[in-house]
Copies of this chain bind each other. A is one copy, B any other.
Amino acid sequence: MTFTIQGVNRMDHTLTKLIENALAEDLGPGDVTSEATIPANSTSTAFMLAKEDLVLAGLDVSGAVFHYLDPDIQFLPLAKDGDRIHAGTEIAKLSGNTRVLLAGERVALNLLQHMSGIATLTAHYVALLNGLNTRVLDTRKTLPGLRHLEKYAVRVGGGQNHRFGLYDGVLIKDNHIAASGGITQAVEAARKKAHHLLKIEVETRTLDEVREALAAKAEIIMLDNMPIDMMGEAVKLINHEAFVEASGNVTLQTVRAIAETGVDFISSGSLTHSAPAADISMKIK
């Protein structure tokens, strides 16, 4: 199996566990209907079909579900992750044991529909920023166990990833500031304790906080839930001495205006926690 999310084949291992758990959840001790009605050696050909326009993400993952069940299943991709697919397009051809095709169908589609849903929504956001330098970022607002697949789908849709977790980036929020006695002290503490390859981002809500973060030499300044006017002022204040990330109240309606303030990044949890599933089905011929 050649699927890799970020990097080498080892990622297959994490993916394999996820697939194993998902199949255990759906199959339990076995598919009683197929066992009873379909001969053990029956073979079929099936197609995955887009039922609405979408940006495809997760095709290899869905193939991996069938591969896990039975390496003899032929899974022939007719498109690839990142493709813009029109309703009615066949996106994969499968052939092999009929019981296996039916056993894997639901889990494979559940993953593919969720990931394509995220990629499709992300692409909508990205398209709205056409011509600007602002990048769309995801957040840590992901579904338990699915973060890496969801963040991969965001990249497929043209977005960028924020940090992967609490461990690979310093993001100082109000509670950290309060506990440290101020932005200056919090940045200083982070500079001293975190290892030397991690940058420091500070969340701000007022222009005074922006000034203090800037003075403390934060490498990234987040503007959290600021009115658009204030964002514009903050961008001017910061004047490219730090990266600027806008966060809060990001919708398809507001994203362009936010970007036009000149922020470098706009992050939104909705990319991952509220993207509706893309409509994809599987038909056995």
Contact = CB atoms under 8 A, between A and B. Distances in A.
A278 to B, nearest CB: 10
Interface in A3-21: 4-11, 13, 18-21
Interface string A77-111: 00000000000000000000111101110110111
A191 to B, nearest CB: 8
Copies in the complex: 6
A103 B190 contact: no
Interface residues of A, number: 108
Interface string A166-197: 11111111111111100000100110111111
B29 A167 contact: yes
Interface stretch (A36-44, A123-131, A207-215, A229-237): A36-44
Interface in A155-170: 160-170
Nearest to A13: B20
A33 interface: yes
Given A9-B100, A179-B39, A169 B195 contact: yes
A140 interface: yes
B141 A277 contact: yes
Given A10-B23, A167-B28, A168-B168, A196 B243 contact: yes
A282 to B, nearest CB: 10
A37 B151 CA distance: 20
A60 interface: no
Given A9-B69, A9-B100, A161-B195, A33 B166 contact: yes
Given A107-B144, A114-B143, A168-B197, 15 more contacts: A4-B40, A8-B70, A8-B104, A11-B30, A25-B165, A28-B28, A30-B167, A32-B198, A33-B172, A110-B144, A143-B143, A145-B145, A167-B168, A175-B284, A273-B277
Minimum-distance CB pairs A-B, first 7: A169-B197, A6-B30, A22-B144, A28-B167, A36-B193, A7-B30, A274-B276
